[in-house]
Amino acid sequence: MDFQSVLIMALTLAAGAIVKGATGMGLPLIALPVLTAAFGLQHAVGLMTIPLIVTNAWQVWRFRSEARAPRLAFMPLFLVAGAVGIGLGTWALTSLPERLLVLALGVILLAYVGLRLATPHWALGPAVARKFGPLAGLGAGTLQGATGISSPIGVTFIHAMGLDRDAHVFAVSTMFLLFALVQLPALWAAGVMQPAWLLQGVLALLPILLFMPVGHWISGRLSRQAFDRMILIFLGVIGLKMVIGL
**Residue range 113-139: average pLDDT?**
79
> The domain containing residue 135 runs over which residues?
3-244
Q: What phi and psi, each to the nearest 5 degrees, are found at residue 159?
A: -65, -35
Greater confidence, 141 or 26? 141
Report d(CA 19, CA 21) in Å as an integer: 5
Confidence at residue 145, expressed as pLDDT on a 0 to 100 scale: 77
Question: pLDDT per residue over 195-213, tens digit each?
Answer: 888 888 898 899 988 998 8
- Give 214: exposed, middle or buried? Use CB within 10 Å, 0-12, 13-18, 19+: middle
Question: pLDDT per residue over 141-176, tens digit each?
Answer: 887 777 667 777 888 888 888 888 889 889 999 999
Report d(CA 151, CA 127) in Å as an integer: 22
Q: How many domains does the chain have?
A: 1
Are 212 and 14 in contact, with CB atoms under 8 Å apart? no
Report d(CA 222, CA 246) in Å as an integer: 30
Residue 24 has pLDDT above 90, yes or no: no
